[in-house]
Structure 1
Amino acid sequence: MVPFPAHGHINQLLHLSRLIASYGIPVHFAGSTVHNRQAKLRVHGWDLESSGNIYFHDFQLPTLCSFSPNTNAWIKFPEHLQPLSDASSHLRQPVFQLLQELSSNFRRIVIINDNLMASVVQDVKLIPNAESYTFLSVSAFIIFFNKWESIIEKRFELDSDVPRYIPSREGSFTPEFEKFIINQHKLLEFESGRLFNTCRLIEGRYMELLSKLSTNVNKKLFSIGPFNPVEAKGKTNTYSPGCLEWLDKQEIESVVYVSFGTVTSTDDEQVKELAIGLERSGQKFIWVLRDADKGDLFEEDEAKTLQLPEGYEERVIDRGIIVRGWAPQLEILAHPATGGFLSHCGWNSCLESITMGVPIVAWPMHSDQPKNSILITQVLRIGLLIRAWEHRAELVTSTAVENTVRKLMKSEEGKVMRERAAELGRAVRASVADDGSSHLEMDSFIAHISR
């Protein structure tokens, strides 16, 4: 496993490592010392210590210029992590040395690399008994439309019920990261296939559309997700601040979980509007209010404390919890008291919410999130959009927060969405059980690489 050094990418490949290791296949997880430590610390939903066959290989990255997130940037993509993206290329030599060592001990070695780490594993083509599979950390929906938009002469038409409005990439990435993505994708000619953290129940149509594209005609595409555990088990990580115990005391589907992931920064004015909107909605909530990750999670530096309106926490003490550190998201979403998720719509969060049958209030910020929000609200119809992507530069008002949260939690439309989300969640959980469609596709992948 060669993950890109950002939590949303590391998390998915660590979950996949668990699944592959369960087949008795040894998994070697190659990453920077800092990010492997981060992965172990943040694992949730299962117990890493009790999972054999996963071996971590720690490599040192050069010293990084560590910048704080810019909460006032027009493009919300975490530009402060660009030095980390650039530094990841230094893993090429140590990873190649590891692959050479492993290739001498095994009949075949299989490399699963994040598509943003193509430059690191490009030397795999020099190892005769090695093959590489590219892991796409985003939805099949996004991969298809990103490619579809670039095709001038389209060889087939889309069905009428496929969404016609798809948000553009404008404002999703900084120019520097767009260039980084392009440079990585230029090196993907050595791959033997592609892996998607999704399943046919969620994105079957878009997996089929991907297979019809001329660029994928001779590629093996495996939809073997969701990777995350479908039942949250194991030790809750050390960051849990008692929110699960608080949830135990709440009524079923009465709590809104609010979190915008690990790399999104929000300015003080927007925090204030969100706070007021949650308070006025009258709904119980758990709100993860933290600054974005820096390049080195363990660097001794005082994190910015996001400011709430004066007296806020005292006013909402009976119906809200503010979490300023790491929260056990999978366990929160799996809890029967959780009835909605106000989310940035990162793919990890979308999958975890879908798996646990929780509907979403979609608030996309950057990256893959704008397109994910369309998948959630228009295709799967298990969520509401709080703000259209073309209005991303505008402040989301407290009134918009209040009305959208109430609509999801209290209206008849919201009730139908919760029922639809619950039904989809049950079906997805069944798909990863023995003889389920996703489990069988994973069996097929394991049989293929073990041939």
Structure 2
Amino acid sequence: MAKQNYHVILFPFPAHGHITPHLALQARLHQYHPNLTITLVSTPRNIASIRSSLPPTSPLQLHSLPFCPADYGLLSDSESTEDLPSGQFGTFLFALESVCPAFDHFITETSKQSSVCIISDMLLGWTLDVAHKHHAFHSSFMGTSAFGGAVFLSVMMNLPHNHSDSDPLTLPEYPGVLVPRSQLAAHILTASQTDPSTVLTQKLLSTLYKTDALLVNTTEYLDPIGICMLKKTHNLPVIPIGPLVGSSYSSIPTSERESNIFEWLDLHPGASVLYISFGSQDSIQKSQMMELALGLEASGRPFIWVIRPPLGYNAKDEFKDEWLPDGFEKRMKEENRGFFVHGWAPQIAILSHKSIGAFLSHCGWNSVLESLNSGVPIIGWPLQAEQPFNVTLLVDLGVCVEVARGKLETSEVKKGKVADTIEVVMGDNEKGQDMREKANKISEMMKETWKGESCSSAKGLAELLKLIKRVTNN
């Protein structure tokens, strides 16, 4: 007899940008389906961090899987991408598979009591084998846009790309999509099936074509072409369940440092401040940082910059003045033109502040959704993975202008273009006004997707539950 209670197991990839939407997903699942039991699994340090951030009344259960990164030549505390030295991502992917036996045991025990549904990150494809072993429902979660994810998948599954000099590249699955080589990181351009890391990545991503359903953190309104692309190439349900933005986050400052941020923002008029961040773990070259700073000064616009050491330096080291133009940080502070955040910043709260007028972003999909949810247009500087393809989508939507591309030394960044682009997006001109209007319209549409059970994303969750019941009852 089929079990009537359902236990949803969430397994995000160990990175801040992957964990955040999984937490938002569990909040929505509990909101619309409160009888579900939901457990998030991860490694010990990640579980401890998540536990400390949850409210005492959270119904989310947490389960820790033993993990020994030192066994793979990693630092003993390397349990998330934020803790990885440069160049060790491939090793981290290999190491993560070591938690599979513990995950298998957890699913074995859970299956004795409930019908299990595994929702795992797109980079944890080996969870599909565990699901099949236990006849459990399995869904892969794409934290990217549908368009960005579809193009990135095609790029990665059709290696190598160094067999010709053609530029742009054409994709077998999507002949209408042209990919300039400048949108691809160097390691992708040179990757081949002889590289163990590439082989593993392709193996993990291939499960996106074999899972029971593909969940995508997007909406039909934002991303119709991308959703159609995924449906064309994946013979399985593709369910948009976004925007999954950290709606449970409070905008009330929780520390003196955060209070200082908002006190500074309160001093500036509405839509006058540029917010700058390259995500929770990435940075740019020192020379690029110099040009960006010079462009900011030339623009005359106030800005708040979440800044970390440039590439090639330890991200946790103290920031050095020599990485910026002489006297730049001191000068910007004295003129009340710049506020520098060294470390973590409450991004959602900052973007929702009335003084923010634009976001200079790496265009990771979480940052994009957080920006558009607040009606803030974007200045795009994509760095890696699917980010350049997100920019393509955003430019087509009319809410983004690309200022630079990539983090290689050869990626051109000029202070004049930085200043000019800031003026286009934030200035009193037709283009800037149009971008702001479109961003505000998208913000309204994004909020509508979660207003009641009849709205699109709530329907997506209902479709997911029907699939779970159908698969687990067979």
Q: Considering the TM-score relative to the shorter chain, is it more than 0.5?
A: yes
| C-alpha deviation, 1:304, in angstroms | 5.7
User: Deviations for 1:29-50, whole angstroms, at most 9, x for unmatched residues?
Assistant: 1111122334456x6xxxx215
Matched, 1:336 2:350: no
Residue 251 of structure 2 is aligned to residue 245 of structure 1:
no
Q: Which residue does 2:80 correspond to in 1?
A: none
Asked if 2 retains the 8 angstrom alpha-carbon contact of 1:277 and 1:397, the reply is yes
Superposition pairs of residues 250-329 of structure 1, within 5 angstroms: 250-291=268-309, 302=317, 305=320, 307-317=323-333, 318-329=336-347
TM-score normalised by structure 1 residue count: 0.84
Which residue number corresponds to residue 70 of structure 1?
none
8 Å CA contact retained: 2:184, 2:384? no
Task: Select 1:125's aligned residue among 132, 135, 138.
Answer: 132
Asked if 2 retains the 8 angstrom alpha-carbon contact of 1:172 and 1:367, the reply is no
Deviations 1:309-364 (A, max 9, x none): 23222211212100001001111111121110000111111111121111110011
What's the CA shift string for 1:192-235, capped at 9, x where partnerless?
Answer: 1110000111012321232233xx23x11110001114585366
**Deviation sequence 1:83-138 (CA, Å, 0-9, x none):** 322211111011111111111111x111000111112452221113x211011121
| Residue number in structure 2 paired with 1:62 | 68
> Please, which of 99, 111, 120 is the counterpart of residue 113 of structure 1?
120
Deviation at 1:236, TM superposition (A): 4.9
What secondary structure, in the 3-state scheme, does the structure 2 residue paired with 1:199 have?
Answer: coil
- Give the whole-Å Cα distance in 1 for the aligned partners of 2:109 and 2:329: 55
Paired residues for 1:177-256 under 5 Å: 177-187=197-207, 191-213=211-233, 216-217=234-235, 219-229=236-246, 233=250, 236=253, 240=258, 242-256=260-274
Q: Give the secondary structure class of the aligned counterpart of 1:258.
A: strand
Residue among 159, 170, 189 paired with 2:184: 170
In the superposition, relative to structure 1, how do residues 50 and 202 fare at CA in structure 2: closer, same or farther (>3 Å)?
farther
The one of 438, 447, 456 aligned to 1:420: 438
How far did residue 164 of structure 1 move?
5.0
1: CA distance, partners of 2:297 / 2:458: 42
Q: CA deviation at 1:387?
A: 2.6
Query: Which residue does the alignment assign to 1:71?
Result: none
Is this contact kept in 2: 1:92–1:121, CA < 8 A?
no
Unaligned runs of 5+ in 1: 68-76
SS in 1 for 2:304: strand
The alignment partner of 1:280 has SS state of helix
In structure 2, relative to structure 1, the CA distance for the partners of 1:56 and 1:155 (3 Å cut) is closer
My pick for the range that moved more, 31-40 or 264-273, is 31-40
Matches within 5 A, 1:20-35: 20-22=29-31, 23-24=33-34, 25-35=36-46
- 1:83 is matched with 91
Structure of greater relative contact order (alpha carbons < 8 Å, 6+ residues apart): 1
Give, in whole Å, the separation in 2 of the partners of 1:369 and 1:116: 16
Partner Cα separation in structure 1 for residue 178 and residue 152 of structure 2:
14
Sequence identity, in percent?
Answer: 27
1:5 aligns with 2:14: yes
Q: Could you say what secondary structure the match of 2:14 adopts?
A: coil
Q: Retained in 2: the 8 A contact 1:232–1:334?
A: no
Q: Is the 8 A contact 2:305 2:340 kept in 1?
A: yes
**Alpha carbons of structure 1 residues 393 and 51: separation in structure 2 relative to 1, 3 Å:** farther
Contact 1:88 1:120 survives alignment (8 Å)? no
Distance 1:231 1:38, change over 3 A: closer
- Structure 2 residue 105 is the aligned partner of structure 1 residue 97: yes
| Aligned mate of 2:149, from 116, 126, 143 | 143
**Structure 1 residue 259 displacement after superposition:** 0.3
Change (3 A) 1:78 1:345: farther
The residue correspondences of 1:341-356 to structure 2 (distance < 5 A) are 341-356=359-374
Q: Structure 1 pair 408/188, CA: closer, same or farther in 2 (3 Å)?
A: closer
Q: Which amino acid aligns with 2:11?
A: V
Assess, with a 3 A threshold, how the Cα gap between structure 1 residues 153 and 308 changes in structure 2: closer, same or farther.
closer
Structure 2 CA distance for partners of 1:153 and 1:438, relative to 1, 3 Å: closer
Alignment TM-score, normalising by the size of structure 2 = 0.80
2:400 is aligned to 383
**1:365 to 2:372 alignment:** no
Pairwise CA distance, 1:415: 1.6
Partner Cα distance (1:225, 1:117) in 2: 20
Task: Decide whether aligned partners of structure 1 residues 260 and 195 sit closer, same or farther in structure 2, where only a CA change above 3 A counts.
Answer: same
> How far did residue 153 of structure 1 move?
10
Tell me if the contact between 2:450 and 2:458 (Cα under 8 Å) persists in the aligned partners.
Answer: yes
The alpha carbon displacement at 1:443 in A equals 2.9
Measure, in 1, the Cα distance between the counterparts of 2:407 and 2:286. Answer: 22
Aligned letter for 2:184? E
* Cα distance in 2, alignment partners of residues 49 and 155 from structure 1: 44
1:14 aligns with 2:23: yes
CA shift, 1:450, in A, is 4.9
1:8, 1:348 within 8 Å by CA — same for their partners in 2? Answer: yes
Secondary structure of the corresponding residue to residue 384 of structure 1:
strand
Letter in structure 2 aligned against 1:179: V
Query: 1:173 deviation in Å?
Result: 4.6
Instruction: Tell me how large the CA RMSD over aligned residues is.
Output: 3.1
Shift of 1:184: 0.9
Instruction: Determine the C-alpha separation between the residues in 2 that align with 1:173 and 1:29.
Output: 32
Q: Which moved more, 1:408-417 or 1:309-318?
A: 309-318
The total of aligned residue pairs comes to 423
Is residue 399 from structure 1 mapped to residue 407 from structure 2 by the alignment? no
